[in-house]
Chains A and B, each alone.
Chain A
């Protein structure tokens, strides 16, 4: 589905589509955001099945059974496909989520901070991600890059990622090495050493990253401009990596302020999944994170997006070979929806159009009319603030972006007029249920789900509720959300207008005429 790859068209996600730009560098440190949003959205094709857990208050450092059963009952209830999540809270306010998965003697440890690019102020956009880089630059105890060296010597892999709603750090290790990761991660939560010298080098690295991810990728450039146009006052309007001018003028003090504001145990969630004993994880967490005093975390303003009241259109001219269309409608998400079924209906709508080989876009526009070389629809229902329901398309030979817009609009109109068939709904629901099993194959993915939900201000239990709620969506509800939200008043359209790539042809072509496709 599309959302993910337009957000970062350079993510190395699996696709048979020849048109999606790929980035072979995904192993380098700051994986963007949407790599994980991508993962997560794929996950929307499935979150845990099994009995719905009961919510329980967790205001002490005690394990709180989530299944509202006796301990013995819980043990019995645990199966490979339905492992229990243990939730704790340390005295300093840090939340700890542990999921036991004994399939392999490994563990993934992630620390999530409620501090992403949507928490940033104008003028210092990108600082969340810059700080993420600086977190590898040493503490009072460990020198620059020592963190990575120690994890590596212990056979581990590690990285970090920044999104609109979070910054997260993770290590994957053989299970006995978990204390090492915890010690290091807790150390840099409290004792980061931000030097001007290291900052001066690292900000250059981040600018190179921006050039690679965005500036030299026409579709990414178009997406950036598109987002900045669609949102008026929502902090989702600026790119996660930040505007280049803000990066050029960023100082180590900006990074220090960010660290001081947001990096505190009471603003963090530790997620551990693997072959571990939850009580031992709690003991370790107390030992390492428990001694860090809570911080004063700033209150954030709602910054609720103003009403749009009319279509917005932009053209982005970039050296490129192919035209490209982006359309986005402002929609609520689980966190903001007045009617809690609506985001699930929108998610279902996205699956009707895109997401598998039998969805309508593939059937009717890639095959069928063969008008689109690539076309997608997508939506992230687990964000902190209102989102865009996105469409993107590259026309096939002989067609234009106007044709793409007409076809997408026709598909939307049909969703407003006709009910989605039972067969389509059934097919999508079956896929989601199966995905719930498949995702158990990755402990990293399971940790991602819990961390994301917790950090955007939802509840990790939604991971288990998702299938239930998604399966409850009716054809009539899909029609209703189409009628209510996929309307011009909420729409922004961006077109990438390709300019000649060859510098010689620029010289000889004064008009800069776009390539016709």
Chain B
């Protein structure tokens, strides 16, 4: 999920004036869409993202619905067919995109800010968003392509591990679903399913609009209004259930004719706005979130040469997203690697981080802040997230002090309460 990429946050301590660069303006459109805007006059372009709470967590027993609905919007809208829609964007040099994961369903647009380009691009996007025609032929074709995608999943040990991981960690919770669905669910989807899903979730009050670009406030208001003008107000999506903690250890081994075994360990982690967010975030940075200097990489890769990639992350979502540790290693080393991971995790939880580690991590997180907001695209990702997850507008402004306030004791306490190696899911895919 893309949201993983925006996990890293920190506040820059050297140059606080920089924060003026992320001056987030917020308002709500007449029909209830929440808008987050950052003016960026340096380049003559505009980035726009509209996020609906219409991800695969809304699929219920029809896995694949959110992804297919999202993917069919640009297959026909108003009196335009798919070819005409794509030509309209392309001839303007505008880039239209879409995707759906578990929490979010997105539509994105990157366009020059010149009115003669931006206005027709916005009109086309608004049309796609509010008057999709869901042609039957496109539905059948895209559904078949999804089924082919599922075949591809079967030939990838990483994808098989991922699927097993979500199923075992989230069990009956909606997050257990694979957004791209399963053969039986995708095979039995109907056009009516998609139309009903669209009607229910693609409504203004279930939408967040993020805009970054060469616009002033009134122009941005106009842009936001245009995009959702023809959407009904509707109602926000129903609340998702809480994620249950795991009670038992579970080890799942899947046979696959690969040279490596893909190993995943994990459990439900934390959500956006979680009271333990900062402690778990900094703690994970030390454990496995800071690349080659993290403990896991040091133990697995630097000391033993067991894997190219070893990592851990929390993926905070609307509800508790996963905490995951992962690596891939030659089949005959799988047991060794697994025991190093278990030992590393256990030691970390029992003893917590060292003062040196915590100091280094806080320096990295805070010192790297300017990099995280150094482009319009990155800022767009942040404000979209802040909006979608109802985080406070001063989230960035206060982040620095919250990171710096995290102590070794906080991390140890949070990990002890929230991460339990005795009730984790372990997935191994390879030749056992």
Q: State the A residues within 8 Å of B (CB).
A: 14, 16, 18-19, 21, 23-25, 27-30, 80-81, 103-106, 136, 144-145, 148-149, 152-157, 172-177, 200-209, 211-212, 215-218, 319-322, 356-358, 362-363, 366-367, 370, 373-374, 394, 396-397, 423, 426-428, 430-435, 437-438, 440-443, 498, 501-503
Contact = CB atoms under 8 A, between A and B. Distances in A.
A149 B308 contact: no
B249 interface: no
Given A155-B371, A367-B138, A208 B90 contact: no
Given A172-B371, A438-B95, A503-B255, 17 more contacts: A19-B148, A19-B152, A27-B291, A103-B43, A104-B374, A152-B360, A153-B360, A155-B367, A208-B329, A211-B328, A362-B86, A363-B86, A396-B145, A431-B90, A432-B93, A435-B93, A503-B257
Contacts of A16: 71, 97-99
A48 to B, nearest CB: 13
Give the bracket for the number of chain B residues in contact with chain A.
Answer: 35 or more
B292 interface: yes
A16 B157 CA distance: 21
Interface centre among B112, B258, B370 (most CB of A within 10 A): B370
A443 B374 CA distance: 9
A498 B117 CA distance: 46
A104 B156 contact: no
A56 B95 CA distance: 37
Interface stretch (B31-39, B217-225, B270-278, B298-306): B298-306
Nearest to A207: B330
Given A18-B148, A19-B152, A356 B371 contact: no
Given A18-B146, A205-B301, A501-B155, A152 B364 contact: yes
B356 to A, nearest CB: 10
What are the 7 closest A-B residue pairs judged by CB atoms, nearest first? A155-B367, A434-B93, A18-B149, A204-B305, A357-B86, A201-B305, A155-B368
Interface in B323-372: 328-330, 360, 363-371
B45 to A, nearest CB: 5
A441 B375 contact: yes
B82 A367 contact: yes
Contacts of A24: 4, 158
Interface centre among B92, B152, B307 (most CB of A within 10 A): B152
B364 A358 contact: no
A438 B213 CA distance: 11
A206 B257 CA distance: 20
A103 B86 contact: no
A310 to B, nearest CB: 32
A394 B149 CA distance: 10
Nearest to B303: A201
11 contacts: A25-B311, A104-B375, A106-B371, A155-B370, A176-B14, A200-B305, A201-B303, A321-B154, A366-B145, A427-B90, A441-B376
B232 interface: no
A interface, by DSSP: helix, strand, loop or mixed? mixed
A81 B306 contact: no
Interface in B284-329: 290-293, 298, 301-309, 311, 328-329
Contacts of A27: 291, 311
B90 A322 contact: no
Contacts of B96: 357
Contacts of B259: 211, 215-216
Contact of A201 (B304, B373, B375): B304
Contact of A29 (B44, B258, B292, B305): B292
A363 B83 contact: yes
B145 A103 contact: no
Given A204-B306, A212-B309, A154 B91 contact: no
A206 B301 CA distance: 10
Contacts of A356: 86, 90
Contact of B292 (A148, A156, A503): A148
A2 B92 CA distance: 23
Contact of A174 (B14, B301, B365): B14
B260 A208 contact: yes
B260 A358 contact: no
B144 A208 contact: no
Contacts of B148: 18-19, 322, 373-374, 394, 396-397
B405 interface: no
Nearest to B113: A437
Contacts of A156: 364, 367-368, 371
Nearest to B156: A21
A501 B96 CA distance: 37
A367 B375 contact: no
A430 B145 contact: no
A136 B18 CA distance: 32
B247 interface: no
Interface string B1-44: 00010000010101100100100000000000000000000111
